[in-house]
């Protein structure tokens, strides 16, 4: 008996203004379609209030992952635009499912083919652009009327009212007294000399929820002056609404929205005096203090703005809360969470100087990670694992070689049979099949040459030590400094700084990229000349499975 096709239903609606019932309606419609077609529904995937212009949706991502594991044979949806409205994304979904022999069928269009992907994808993409233009026109009209054109600023609450015909009138706001008092406090404290960090820490200590309902951070307060972000830069607090200061575009590689500053001539500025929370004198006092500490287009202190990126910036994390470690003064690093949000979120207040951190980590790379006995074990295990993988490849090659010999023998027997008098028509198809298989097997053997055993050069450890030492030395030479920094950062996966008891000092857990370390000794030359570090690493991906043998992440204390 033939088994029915297994179907996965996908349903999505775009905005919070649509009903949850929309999902149920789509699923019901797809189930009815499946019953009519004799298809068995085995999975249901949904995305609620998520735009179809992006693939950054948990439901569609899980569907694509399960398709790789052969969980279903066909994807059912109410319409093609439920899967995606983006032309490139819908083509990508179609290609991925086709590769897995998974069909797409919709209640509206039926079985989906390349023609649907081209035509419907273009139509959906045009619909999105047209919708964006109309939405933007409507928002601009709201902004010019002094109404909210999207979002909700801290200190205000949205007001929903209805016109004479009962239709909702959106965009009205009013001051929320409790939040407005917090805004005044922030401005007064800052004008009095308190730093955003101290203000945020005090608010968190008192348990006052931030704009998102979670804790306060320094960036929530100071934001970016040029972009008008952050509590201290929001001109709505002085009754001045600015719309279209920023525009947002989607990064095609990540699917995330990126903000860009629009020209000032494109801004829509409206006076809304009824929404003023901060008096002009206090606003000017805050501006004066900001002007004394910062320069245009940056919120970074002068000493931090002029310095180059430190050797290990971005690689450090706090062992207590998992947050990042960043510059807390000109010379030292500290936990960003502890300093931005206060002890209510992290108690790790220990610091480490930049010079001390770099000296210790570089010393570990030269000493701890160049232990001759450990490196010898590593090289031995690396060669062993590579040889094991090559032995597996050799077995596969032997099977292909054996099959090729059998194919040639069978083909020769058929030729002998024809010579002996058997009509050629009776064996023609079999001969053609054997000959096609012979060509395929010969091409496979040519593509995959016989592997040779891996042998570790007796001077590998010595070469490796020389490479590491030379790399560290180049940090002091201007010509090779940047290249050496990039190479050294590539050798360190993560630096975790953990406070210890009872002295409160930091223990450093250095996790090294062992594959990259070995690449320095193997990658200087090849049969094709010099190789870059990245090329060397790409060629030894097998190390991911065996690099830990004989090694533990280096741990040492300050």
**What confidence score (pLDDT) does residue 547 get?**
25
**Residue 314 placed within a domain:** yes
pLDDT, tens digit (0-9, with 9 covering 90-100), for 388-431: 777 777 777 888 888 889 988 988 888 888 888 888 788 888 88
DSSP annotation of 21 reads H
Are 317 and 346 in the same domain? yes
Under DSSP, the state recorded for 224 is: B
pLDDT, position 384: 74
Do strands 325-327 and 316-318 pair parallel, antiparallel, or not at all (unpaired)? unpaired
Q: Please report the pLDDT score of residue 260 as a whole number.
A: 84
Closest CA to 221 of 154, 294, 276, 151: 154
Residue 281 pLDDT: 92
Which of the listed residues 299, 326, 355 is the one where a domain comes to its end?
A: 299
Q: Let me know: does 346 contact 338? Beta carbons within 8 Å.
A: yes
Cα separation, 51 vs 56, whole angstroms: 9
Q: Name the band, by pLDDT with cuts 50, 70 and 90, for residue 195.
A: confident
Distance in angstroms (rounded) separating the CA atoms of residues 10 and 33? 13
Any idea how long the chain is?
558
pLDDT of res. 431: 84
The C-alpha R_g of the chain, in whole angstroms, comes to: 33
Name the pLDDT band for 446 (thresholds 50, 70, 90): confident
Residue 282's CATH number: 3.90.1750.20
Give residue 357's pLDDT band: very low, low, confident or very high (50, 70, 90): confident
Domain assignment of residue 518, yes or no:
yes
Report which listed range, 274-278, 391-395, 439-443, 523-527, is most confident.
Answer: 274-278
Residue 164: partners with Cβ closer than 8 Å, 6 or more residues away: none
Cα gap 350→357, rounded to integer Å? 13
Per the domain annotation, does 548 fall within a domain? yes
Whichever domain contains 27, its CATH number is 3.40.50.1390
Give the DSSP letter string of 364-390: HHHTGGG-HHHHHHHHHHHHHHHHHHH
For residue 74, give the 3-state DSSP assignment: strand
Q: Indicate the number of domains in the chain.
A: 3
Q: What whole-number distance in Å separates Cα of residue 385 and Cα of residue 547?
A: 10
Same domain, 386 and 291: no
**How far from each other are the two terminal CA atoms of the chain, in whole angstroms?**
71
Q: Are 97 and 127 in contact (CB under 8 A)?
A: no
Among 262-276, 372-386, 416-430, name the one with the lowest average pLDDT: 372-386
Per-residue model confidence as pLDDT tens digits over 210-221: 888 878 888 889
pLDDT at 463 over 80: no
Mean pLDDT of 268-292: 89
* Stated pTM of the model: 0.45
- Model confidence pLDDT, tens digit, residues 47-93: 886 765 667 788 888 999 899 888 999 999 998 888 887 777 888 88
Is the residue at 257 inside a domain? Answer: yes
| Each residue's pLDDT tens digit, 216-243 | 888 889 888 888 888 999 999 998 988 8
| Number of neighbours of residue 298 by Cβ within 10 angstroms | 13
Q: pLDDT digit string (tens) for 175-189?
A: 999 999 999 999 999
Check residue 151 and give its pLDDT.
72
Q: Which domain holds residue 346?
A: 301-392+454-558
Residue/partner pairs of 122-125 with CB below 8 Å, 24 or more apart: 122/87, 124/52, 124/80, 124/81, 124/84, 124/85, 124/86, 124/87, 124/90, 125/85, 125/86, 125/87
Beta bridge partners of 510: 495, 554
Q: What is the mean pLDDT of residues 489-495?
A: 71
pLDDT at 537: 33
Average pLDDT over residues 458-484: 67
Dump pLDDT digits (tens) for 116-168: 777 766 776 677 677 777 777 777 777 777 787 777 889 998 888 887 888 88
pLDDT at 526 over 50: no
- The per-residue pLDDT for range 152-161, each reduced to its tens digit, is 889 998 888 8
Residue the block writes with tokens 């400094």: 481
Same domain, residue pair 215 and 324: no
Q: Looking at the domain assignment, is residue 423 inside a domain?
A: no
> DSSP letter at 464?
H
418 or 527, higher pLDDT:
418
Q: In Å, what is the CA distance from 405 to each residue of 257, 414, 429, 430? A: 58, 14, 19, 16
**pLDDT over threshold 70, residue 371:** no
Question: Is 485 in the same domain as 537?
Answer: yes
Specify if 491 maps to a domain. yes
Kindly state the average pLDDT of the residues 91-118: 87
CA distance 332 to 415: 83
CA–CA gap between residue 167 and residue 164 (Å, rounded): 7
Q: Determine the pLDDT at residue 481.
A: 64
Residue whose entry in the numeric block shows the structure tokens 């649907």: 116
Q: CB-based contacts of 175: which residues, under 8 Å, 6+ apart?
A: 155, 156, 275, 277
Strands 74-77 and 103-106: parallel
221 and 241 assigned to the same domain: yes
What is residue 53's three-state secondary structure? Answer: coil
Burial bucket for residue 473 (CB in 10 Å: 0-12, 13-18, 19+): exposed
pLDDT grade, residue 296 (50/70/90)?
A: very low
CA 207 and chain centroid, separation = 32
């Amino acid at each position: 008996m033939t088994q029915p096709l297994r179907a996965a239903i996908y349903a999505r609606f775009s905005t919070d203004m649509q009903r949850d019932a929309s999902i149920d309606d789509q699923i019901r419609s797809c189930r009815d379609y499946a019953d009519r077609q004799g298809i068995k529904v085995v999975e249901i995937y949904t995305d609620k209030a998520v735009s179809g212009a992006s693939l950054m949706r948990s439901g569609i991502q899980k569907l694509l992952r399960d398709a790789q594991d052969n969980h279903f044979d066909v994807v059912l949806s109410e319409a093609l635009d439920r899967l995606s409205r983006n032309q490139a994304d819908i083509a990508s979904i179609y290609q991925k499912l086709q590769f897995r022999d998974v069909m797409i069928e919709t209640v509206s269009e039926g079985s989906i083919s390349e023609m649907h992907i081209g035509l419907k994808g273009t139509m959906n993409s045009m619909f999105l652009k047209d919708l964006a233009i109309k939405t933007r026109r409507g928002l601009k009209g709201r902004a010019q009327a002094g109404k909210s054109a999207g979002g909700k600023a801290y200190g205000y609450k949205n007001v929903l009212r209805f016109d004479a015909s009962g239709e909702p009138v959106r965009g009205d706001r009013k001051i929320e007294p409790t939040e407005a008092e917090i805004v005044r406090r922030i401005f007064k404290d800052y004008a009095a000399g308190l730093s955003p960090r101290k203000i945020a820490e005090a608010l968190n200590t008192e348990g006052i929820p931030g704009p998102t309902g979670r804790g306060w951070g320094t960036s929530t307060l100071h934001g970016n002056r040029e972009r008008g972000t952050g509590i201290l830069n929001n001109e709505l607090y002085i009754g001045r609404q600015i719309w279209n200061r920023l525009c947002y575009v989607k990064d095609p590689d990540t699917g995330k929205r990126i903000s860009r500053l629009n020209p000032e001539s494109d801004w829509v500025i409206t006076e809304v005096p009824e929404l003023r929370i901060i008096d002009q004198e206090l606003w000017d006092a805050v501006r004066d203090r900001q002007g004394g500490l910062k320069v245009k287009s940056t919120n970074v202190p002068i000493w931090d703005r002029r310095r180059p990126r430190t050797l290990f910036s971005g690689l450090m994390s706090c062992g207590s809360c998992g947050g990042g470690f960043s510059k807390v003064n000109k010379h030292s690093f500290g936990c960003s969470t502890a300093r931005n949000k206060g002890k209510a979120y992290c108690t790790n207040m220990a610091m480490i100087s930049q010079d001390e951190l770099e000296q210790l980590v570089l010393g570990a790379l030269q000493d701890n990670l160049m232990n001759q006995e450990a490196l010898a074990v590593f090289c031995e295990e690396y060669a062993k694992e590579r040889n094991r993988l090559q032995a597996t490849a050799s077995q596969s090659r032997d099977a292909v070689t054996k099959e090729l010999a059998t194919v040639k023998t069978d083909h020769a027997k058929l030729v002998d049979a024809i010579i002996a008098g058997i009509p050629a028509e009776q064996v023609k198809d079999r001969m053609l099949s054997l000959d096609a298989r012979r060509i395929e097997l010969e091409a496979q053997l040519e593509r995959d040459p016989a592997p040779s055993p891996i042998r570790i050069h007796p001077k590998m450890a010595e070469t490796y030590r020389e490479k590491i030492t030379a790399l560290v030395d180049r940090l002091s030479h201007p010509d090779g400094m940047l290249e050496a920094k990039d190479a050294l950062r590539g050798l360190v996966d993560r630096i975790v700084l953990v406070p210890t008891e009872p002295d409160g000092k930091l223990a450093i857990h250095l996790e090294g990229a062992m594959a990259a370390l070995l690449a320095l000794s193997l990658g200087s030359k090849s049969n094709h000349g010099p190789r870059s570090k990245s090329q060397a690493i790409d060629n030894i991906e097998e190390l991911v499975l065996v690099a830990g043998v004989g090694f533990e992440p280096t741990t040492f204390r300050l």
